[in-house]
Amino acid sequence: MPRPILAAISVAALSHNLNTVGQLLEQDVSIGIQRPSIWAVIKADAYGHGIDRALSGFALADGLAMLDLNEAVHCREAGWSGPLLLLEGFFEPEDIRVLDQYRISIVIHTNEQLDMLENSQVVHAVDACIKLNTGMNRLGFQQTEYSTAFARAQDLQNDGVLGLVGKMTHFACADDDPLATEAQLEVFNRVTDGLPGRVSVCNSAATLTPGFAAQVAPHAEQWVRPGICLYGASPFADRSAAQMGLRPAMTLRSELISVRTIAAGEQVGYGYRYTATRAMKIGVVACGYADGYPRHAPNGTPIVVDGVRTQLIGRVSMDMLAVDLTPVPAAHVGSPVILWGIDGPSVDEVAQACGTIGYELLCAVAPRVPRLSS
Protein backbone atom coordinates (compact mmCIF):
# COMPACT_ATOMS: atom_id res chain seq x y z
CA MET A 1 0.00 0.00 0.00
CA PRO A 2 1.35 3.50 -0.80
CA ARG A 3 1.84 6.02 1.99
CA PRO A 4 -1.55 7.41 2.99
CA ILE A 5 -0.88 11.00 1.82
CA LEU A 6 -2.82 12.35 -1.15
CA ALA A 7 -4.08 15.59 -2.66
CA ALA A 8 -7.76 15.33 -3.55
CA ILE A 9 -8.59 17.78 -6.33
CA SER A 10 -12.19 18.88 -6.78
CA VAL A 11 -12.92 19.65 -10.41
CA ALA A 12 -16.37 20.84 -9.29
CA ALA A 13 -14.71 23.42 -7.01
CA LEU A 14 -12.63 24.71 -9.94
CA SER A 15 -15.80 25.17 -12.01
CA HIS A 16 -17.63 26.72 -9.07
CA ASN A 17 -14.84 29.25 -8.49
CA LEU A 18 -14.67 30.21 -12.15
CA ASN A 19 -18.42 30.70 -12.14
CA THR A 20 -18.24 32.76 -8.93
CA VAL A 21 -15.68 35.10 -10.50
CA GLY A 22 -17.81 35.37 -13.64
CA GLN A 23 -20.88 36.31 -11.59
CA LEU A 24 -18.94 38.88 -9.64
CA LEU A 25 -17.78 40.54 -12.85
CA GLU A 26 -21.33 40.40 -14.18
CA GLN A 27 -22.60 42.42 -11.20
CA ASP A 28 -20.51 45.41 -12.16
CA VAL A 29 -21.48 45.39 -15.78
CA SER A 30 -23.68 48.30 -16.64
CA ILE A 31 -25.68 48.92 -19.75
CA GLY A 32 -23.58 49.07 -22.87
CA ILE A 33 -20.50 47.62 -21.19
CA GLN A 34 -19.50 44.01 -21.75
CA ARG A 35 -18.48 41.67 -18.96
CA PRO A 36 -14.70 41.17 -19.14
CA SER A 37 -13.57 37.85 -20.57
CA ILE A 38 -11.61 35.53 -18.31
CA TRP A 39 -8.20 34.03 -18.93
CA ALA A 40 -8.05 31.29 -16.29
CA VAL A 41 -4.40 31.22 -15.22
CA ILE A 42 -3.08 27.64 -15.10
CA LYS A 43 0.67 28.21 -14.75
CA ALA A 44 2.76 25.98 -12.46
CA ASP A 45 0.74 22.89 -13.37
CA ALA A 46 -2.46 24.76 -12.53
CA TYR A 47 -1.07 25.95 -9.17
CA GLY A 48 -0.29 22.32 -8.32
CA HIS A 49 -3.74 20.98 -9.26
CA GLY A 50 -2.80 19.42 -12.62
CA ILE A 51 -3.35 20.80 -16.11
CA ASP A 52 -5.80 18.12 -17.13
CA ARG A 53 -8.06 18.71 -14.14
CA ALA A 54 -7.86 22.43 -14.85
CA LEU A 55 -8.93 21.75 -18.43
CA SER A 56 -12.06 20.03 -17.12
CA GLY A 57 -12.74 22.51 -14.33
CA PHE A 58 -12.21 25.54 -16.54
CA ALA A 59 -13.92 24.17 -19.64
CA LEU A 60 -16.15 27.27 -19.67
CA ALA A 61 -13.30 29.79 -19.36
CA ASP A 62 -12.89 32.21 -22.25
CA GLY A 63 -9.18 31.42 -22.43
CA LEU A 64 -6.32 29.79 -20.55
CA ALA A 65 -3.08 31.54 -19.60
CA MET A 66 0.17 29.83 -18.67
CA LEU A 67 3.94 30.05 -19.06
CA ASP A 68 5.14 26.91 -20.69
CA LEU A 69 4.93 26.36 -24.42
CA ASN A 70 4.75 22.60 -24.00
CA GLU A 71 1.84 22.99 -21.59
CA ALA A 72 0.04 25.13 -24.14
CA VAL A 73 0.63 22.50 -26.82
CA HIS A 74 -0.63 19.88 -24.37
CA CYS A 75 -3.86 21.85 -23.86
CA ARG A 76 -4.42 22.00 -27.62
CA GLU A 77 -3.74 18.34 -28.06
CA ALA A 78 -6.08 17.55 -25.19
CA GLY A 79 -8.84 19.26 -27.17
CA TRP A 80 -8.91 22.84 -25.83
CA SER A 81 -9.94 24.94 -28.81
CA GLY A 82 -10.16 28.39 -27.16
CA PRO A 83 -7.44 31.00 -26.75
CA LEU A 84 -4.18 30.09 -25.01
CA LEU A 85 -1.90 32.86 -23.75
CA LEU A 86 1.77 32.54 -22.82
CA LEU A 87 2.32 35.08 -20.03
CA GLU A 88 6.08 35.36 -20.64
CA GLY A 89 5.69 35.03 -24.39
CA PHE A 90 8.31 32.96 -26.16
CA PHE A 91 12.07 32.60 -25.79
CA GLU A 92 13.60 31.44 -29.07
CA PRO A 93 12.91 31.87 -32.79
CA GLU A 94 12.03 28.16 -33.08
CA ASP A 95 9.14 28.71 -30.68
CA ILE A 96 7.36 30.87 -33.26
CA ARG A 97 6.70 27.88 -35.51
CA VAL A 98 4.96 26.16 -32.59
CA LEU A 99 2.90 29.27 -31.75
CA ASP A 100 1.80 29.37 -35.35
CA GLN A 101 0.99 25.69 -35.64
CA TYR A 102 -0.96 25.50 -32.38
CA ARG A 103 -2.52 29.00 -32.52
CA ILE A 104 -1.03 30.14 -29.22
CA SER A 105 -1.20 33.80 -28.17
CA ILE A 106 1.73 35.59 -26.57
CA VAL A 107 2.68 38.42 -24.29
CA ILE A 108 5.40 40.52 -25.91
CA HIS A 109 7.51 42.30 -23.32
CA THR A 110 10.97 42.81 -24.88
CA ASN A 111 12.49 44.17 -28.06
CA GLU A 112 14.24 40.82 -28.51
CA GLN A 113 10.86 39.18 -29.02
CA LEU A 114 9.89 41.79 -31.62
CA ASP A 115 13.24 41.22 -33.38
CA MET A 116 12.57 37.50 -33.57
CA LEU A 117 9.06 38.07 -34.92
CA GLU A 118 10.36 40.50 -37.55
CA ASN A 119 12.65 37.77 -38.82
CA SER A 120 9.98 35.11 -39.06
CA GLN A 121 7.16 33.99 -41.26
CA VAL A 122 3.94 32.40 -40.09
CA VAL A 123 0.93 30.75 -41.64
CA HIS A 124 -1.58 32.02 -39.06
CA ALA A 125 -1.10 35.44 -37.51
CA VAL A 126 -0.20 35.17 -33.80
CA ASP A 127 -2.36 37.14 -31.31
CA ALA A 128 -0.36 39.24 -28.87
CA CYS A 129 -0.58 41.54 -25.85
CA ILE A 130 2.11 44.20 -25.59
CA LYS A 131 3.12 44.52 -21.97
CA LEU A 132 3.86 47.80 -20.26
CA ASN A 133 5.97 48.04 -17.10
CA THR A 134 3.84 50.27 -14.86
CA GLY A 135 6.08 50.03 -11.81
CA MET A 136 6.63 46.43 -10.85
CA ASN A 137 9.87 46.31 -12.86
CA ARG A 138 9.50 42.66 -13.70
CA LEU A 139 8.40 42.32 -17.32
CA GLY A 140 7.25 44.89 -19.86
CA PHE A 141 8.38 47.80 -21.96
CA GLN A 142 9.32 51.03 -20.25
CA GLN A 143 6.86 53.90 -20.55
CA THR A 144 9.23 55.70 -22.92
CA GLU A 145 9.63 52.61 -25.14
CA TYR A 146 6.01 51.59 -25.31
CA SER A 147 4.69 53.52 -28.27
CA THR A 148 7.65 52.41 -30.42
CA ALA A 149 7.18 48.80 -29.40
CA PHE A 150 3.46 49.05 -30.07
CA ALA A 151 4.10 50.55 -33.51
CA ARG A 152 6.48 47.69 -34.33
CA ALA A 153 3.75 45.27 -33.29
CA GLN A 154 1.27 47.07 -35.54
CA ASP A 155 3.72 46.76 -38.46
CA LEU A 156 3.97 43.04 -37.73
CA GLN A 157 0.18 42.98 -37.73
CA ASN A 158 0.08 44.64 -41.15
CA ASP A 159 2.59 42.06 -42.37
CA GLY A 160 0.34 39.26 -41.14
CA VAL A 161 2.77 37.98 -38.50
CA LEU A 162 0.66 39.23 -35.60
CA GLY A 163 -3.13 39.04 -35.43
CA LEU A 164 -4.83 40.85 -32.54
CA VAL A 165 -2.56 43.34 -30.78
CA GLY A 166 -3.63 44.27 -27.24
CA LYS A 167 -2.29 46.09 -24.22
CA MET A 168 -1.46 44.71 -20.80
CA THR A 169 0.28 45.27 -17.51
CA HIS A 170 0.57 43.53 -14.13
CA PHE A 171 -0.09 44.92 -10.65
CA ALA A 172 2.41 44.63 -7.82
CA CYS A 173 0.13 45.41 -4.85
CA ALA A 174 -3.47 44.70 -5.88
CA ASP A 175 -3.89 42.55 -2.75
CA ASP A 176 -3.14 45.25 -0.19
CA ASP A 177 -2.51 48.68 -1.63
CA PRO A 178 -5.36 50.24 -3.64
CA LEU A 179 -3.50 53.54 -4.03
CA ALA A 180 -0.42 51.91 -5.54
CA THR A 181 -2.70 49.94 -7.85
CA GLU A 182 -4.60 53.05 -8.93
CA ALA A 183 -1.25 54.70 -9.63
CA GLN A 184 -0.18 51.78 -11.84
CA LEU A 185 -3.52 51.89 -13.66
CA GLU A 186 -3.12 55.61 -14.21
CA VAL A 187 0.31 55.06 -15.79
CA PHE A 188 -1.19 52.32 -17.95
CA ASN A 189 -4.07 54.53 -19.10
CA ARG A 190 -1.82 57.50 -19.81
CA VAL A 191 0.75 55.52 -21.81
CA THR A 192 -1.72 53.38 -23.77
CA ASP A 193 -4.26 56.15 -24.34
CA GLY A 194 -5.33 56.25 -27.97
CA LEU A 195 -3.74 52.93 -28.87
CA PRO A 196 -6.27 50.38 -30.13
CA GLY A 197 -6.81 46.85 -28.95
CA ARG A 198 -8.03 44.86 -26.00
CA VAL A 199 -6.86 45.47 -22.46
CA SER A 200 -5.70 43.04 -19.77
CA VAL A 201 -4.55 44.22 -16.34
CA CYS A 202 -6.41 42.38 -13.54
CA ASN A 203 -5.00 39.46 -11.54
CA SER A 204 -7.17 37.76 -8.87
CA ALA A 205 -6.86 40.56 -6.35
CA ALA A 206 -7.85 43.26 -8.83
CA THR A 207 -10.59 41.06 -10.31
CA LEU A 208 -12.07 40.50 -6.84
CA THR A 209 -11.89 44.14 -5.81
CA PRO A 210 -15.50 45.32 -6.20
CA GLY A 211 -15.93 47.76 -9.05
CA PHE A 212 -12.27 47.73 -10.08
CA ALA A 213 -12.48 45.80 -13.34
CA ALA A 214 -15.51 47.83 -14.40
CA GLN A 215 -13.54 51.07 -14.27
CA VAL A 216 -10.44 49.73 -16.04
CA ALA A 217 -11.47 49.94 -19.64
CA PRO A 218 -15.16 50.72 -19.98
CA HIS A 219 -14.85 51.28 -23.73
CA ALA A 220 -12.44 48.53 -24.71
CA GLU A 221 -12.66 44.77 -24.74
CA GLN A 222 -11.21 43.61 -21.42
CA TRP A 223 -9.70 40.31 -20.32
CA VAL A 224 -9.02 39.58 -16.65
CA ARG A 225 -6.36 37.06 -15.55
CA PRO A 226 -7.40 35.47 -12.24
CA GLY A 227 -5.26 32.63 -10.94
CA ILE A 228 -5.18 31.87 -7.22
CA CYS A 229 -8.87 32.57 -6.54
CA LEU A 230 -9.91 29.93 -9.08
CA TYR A 231 -8.24 27.33 -6.87
CA GLY A 232 -10.21 28.49 -3.83
CA ALA A 233 -7.46 30.43 -2.08
CA SER A 234 -7.44 34.14 -1.34
CA PRO A 235 -5.02 36.71 -2.72
CA PHE A 236 -5.82 38.96 0.27
CA ALA A 237 -4.40 38.68 3.79
CA ASP A 238 -7.63 40.03 5.30
CA ARG A 239 -10.42 38.43 3.22
CA SER A 240 -10.77 34.68 3.26
CA ALA A 241 -11.63 32.67 0.19
CA ALA A 242 -14.73 31.35 1.99
CA GLN A 243 -15.95 34.92 2.62
CA MET A 244 -15.81 35.47 -1.13
CA GLY A 245 -17.80 32.30 -1.85
CA LEU A 246 -14.79 30.38 -3.16
CA ARG A 247 -14.28 26.68 -2.46
CA PRO A 248 -10.95 24.95 -1.85
CA ALA A 249 -10.02 22.88 -4.89
CA MET A 250 -7.22 20.97 -3.17
CA THR A 251 -7.51 18.98 0.04
CA LEU A 252 -4.18 17.63 1.25
CA ARG A 253 -4.83 14.70 3.49
CA SER A 254 -3.01 11.87 5.18
CA GLU A 255 -3.29 9.63 8.22
CA LEU A 256 -1.72 9.05 11.60
CA ILE A 257 0.92 6.33 11.31
CA SER A 258 1.97 6.31 14.96
CA VAL A 259 0.46 7.40 18.28
CA ARG A 260 2.13 7.63 21.70
CA THR A 261 1.85 9.29 25.08
CA ILE A 262 4.76 11.37 26.33
CA ALA A 263 5.47 12.69 29.83
CA ALA A 264 5.98 16.30 30.88
CA GLY A 265 9.47 17.39 29.88
CA GLU A 266 9.78 14.96 26.95
CA GLN A 267 10.65 16.42 23.60
CA VAL A 268 9.53 15.90 20.02
CA GLY A 269 11.31 15.70 16.66
CA TYR A 270 14.52 17.09 15.20
CA GLY A 271 16.22 19.71 17.29
CA TYR A 272 13.80 18.90 20.13
CA ARG A 273 11.88 21.97 19.09
CA TYR A 274 8.83 21.04 21.17
CA THR A 275 8.87 20.18 24.87
CA ALA A 276 5.75 18.78 26.54
CA THR A 277 4.67 20.83 29.54
CA ARG A 278 2.42 17.98 30.75
CA ALA A 279 1.73 14.35 29.88
CA MET A 280 0.12 14.33 26.45
CA LYS A 281 -0.89 12.11 23.56
CA ILE A 282 0.80 12.87 20.25
CA GLY A 283 0.51 11.46 16.74
CA VAL A 284 2.82 11.19 13.75
CA VAL A 285 1.36 12.07 10.33
CA ALA A 286 2.67 10.72 7.01
CA CYS A 287 3.43 14.14 5.55
CA GLY A 288 6.73 15.98 5.50
CA TYR A 289 8.64 18.63 3.66
CA ALA A 290 9.44 16.19 0.85
CA ASP A 291 5.69 16.17 0.23
CA GLY A 292 5.70 19.94 0.03
CA TYR A 293 4.54 20.74 3.57
CA PRO A 294 6.64 23.71 4.72
CA ARG A 295 9.56 22.74 6.96
CA HIS A 296 9.43 26.12 8.66
CA ALA A 297 5.83 25.56 9.91
CA PRO A 298 5.90 26.62 13.58
CA ASN A 299 4.47 24.83 16.61
CA GLY A 300 0.76 25.68 16.61
CA THR A 301 0.17 25.50 12.84
CA PRO A 302 -3.46 24.29 12.50
CA ILE A 303 -4.17 20.70 11.45
CA VAL A 304 -7.38 18.67 11.60
CA VAL A 305 -7.26 15.10 12.98
CA ASP A 306 -10.39 12.97 12.94
CA GLY A 307 -12.48 16.07 12.28
CA VAL A 308 -11.01 17.96 15.25
CA ARG A 309 -8.80 20.98 14.90
CA THR A 310 -5.45 20.65 16.62
CA GLN A 311 -1.89 21.79 16.05
CA LEU A 312 1.49 20.85 14.72
CA ILE A 313 4.22 20.28 17.28
CA GLY A 314 7.95 19.91 16.69
CA ARG A 315 9.89 20.44 13.50
CA VAL A 316 8.52 19.03 10.25
CA SER A 317 10.76 16.18 9.01
CA MET A 318 11.25 15.03 5.45
CA ASP A 319 8.43 12.47 5.52
CA MET A 320 6.58 13.04 8.78
CA LEU A 321 5.28 15.62 11.18
CA ALA A 322 3.87 15.44 14.70
CA VAL A 323 0.55 16.65 16.07
CA ASP A 324 -0.90 17.28 19.51
CA LEU A 325 -3.73 14.78 20.09
CA THR A 326 -4.93 16.34 23.35
CA PRO A 327 -8.24 17.50 21.81
CA VAL A 328 -8.72 14.16 19.98
CA PRO A 329 -8.08 11.51 22.63
CA ALA A 330 -9.66 8.71 20.58
CA ALA A 331 -7.35 9.26 17.60
CA HIS A 332 -5.46 6.15 16.55
CA VAL A 333 -3.17 4.83 13.86
CA GLY A 334 -5.15 5.28 10.64
CA SER A 335 -7.14 8.30 11.82
CA PRO A 336 -7.63 10.77 8.95
CA VAL A 337 -5.64 13.98 8.95
CA ILE A 338 -6.35 17.07 6.88
CA LEU A 339 -3.36 19.33 6.33
CA TRP A 340 -5.48 21.86 4.40
CA GLY A 341 -8.63 22.02 2.30
CA ILE A 342 -12.23 20.90 2.68
CA ASP A 343 -13.05 20.19 6.37
CA GLY A 344 -9.51 21.26 7.33
CA PRO A 345 -7.74 24.54 7.90
CA SER A 346 -7.67 26.62 4.70
CA VAL A 347 -4.40 26.65 2.79
CA ASP A 348 -4.28 30.37 3.54
CA GLU A 349 -4.46 29.76 7.31
CA VAL A 350 -1.61 27.28 7.12
CA ALA A 351 0.37 29.67 4.92
CA GLN A 352 -0.23 32.55 7.29
CA ALA A 353 1.02 30.49 10.24
CA CYS A 354 4.15 29.72 8.21
CA GLY A 355 4.79 33.29 7.06
CA THR A 356 4.06 32.55 3.42
CA ILE A 357 1.11 32.59 1.00
CA GLY A 358 -1.28 29.90 -0.15
CA TYR A 359 0.18 30.11 -3.67
CA GLU A 360 3.53 28.78 -2.48
CA LEU A 361 2.03 25.86 -0.57
CA LEU A 362 -0.25 24.79 -3.44
CA CYS A 363 2.56 24.94 -6.00
CA ALA A 364 4.99 23.15 -3.71
CA VAL A 365 2.99 19.95 -3.25
CA ALA A 366 5.54 17.43 -4.45
CA PRO A 367 5.19 15.19 -7.49
CA ARG A 368 5.39 12.18 -5.15
CA VAL A 369 2.01 13.09 -3.65
CA PRO A 370 -0.69 11.31 -5.66
CA ARG A 371 -3.43 13.58 -6.97
CA LEU A 372 -6.91 12.15 -6.91
CA SER A 373 -9.77 13.81 -8.76
CA SER A 374 -12.96 14.05 -6.76
Ligand X SMILES: *Cc1c(COP(=O)(O)O)cnc(C)c1O
Fill in the per-residue mask, 58 to 97: x = in contact with ligand X (CB under 6 A), - = not in contact: -----------------------------x----------
241 versus 268: smaller Cβ distance to ligand X = 241
Beta-bridge mates of residue 274: 268
Binding flag, residue 37, ligand X (CB under 6 A): no
Using alpha carbons, select from 291, 231, 258 the residue that is nearest to residue 6.
291
According to CB under 6 A, which one of 140, 227, 292, 341 is a site residue for ligand X? 227
Q: Which of residues 43-62 bind ligand X (CB under 6 A)?
A: 43
Nearer to ligand X, 21 or 286 (CB): 21
Task: Pick the stretch among 12-20, 96-104, 221-229, 236-244 that binds ligand X (CB under 6 A).
Answer: 221-229
The yes-or-no answer on residue 274 being catalytic is no
Give the burial class of 218: count Cβ atoms within 10 A of its Cβ; 0-12 exposed, 13-18 middle, 19 or more buried: exposed
Confirm or reject binding of residue 41 to ligand X (CB under 6 A): yes
Other C-beta atoms lying within 10 Å of the C-beta of residue 336 = 16
Q: Determine contact, residues 242/346, Cβ cutoff 8 Å.
A: yes
* Partners of residue 324 on adjacent β-strands: 282
Residue among 146, 270, 272, 293 flagged as catalytic: 270
Residue whose C-alpha is closest to residue 121's, from 162, 70, 90, 150: 162
Residue of minimal CB distance from ligand X? 227
Q: Which member of 16, 53, 167, 225 binds ligand X (CB under 6 A)?
A: 225
Per the annotation, the verdict on 231 as an active-site residue is: no
Asked if 346 touches ligand X (CB under 6 A), the answer is no
Span near ligand X by CB under 6 A; candidates 153-161, 223-231, 334-342, 344-352:
223-231
β-pair type (84-86, 105-108)? parallel
Q: Sheet containing 199-200: which strands, arranged edge to edge?
A: 199-200, 162-168, 126-131, 105-108, 84-86, 63-66, 37-41, 223-224
Residues that bind ligand X (CB under 6 A): 41, 43, 87, 170, 203-204, 225-228, 235
- Catalytically active residues, by annotation: 43, 270
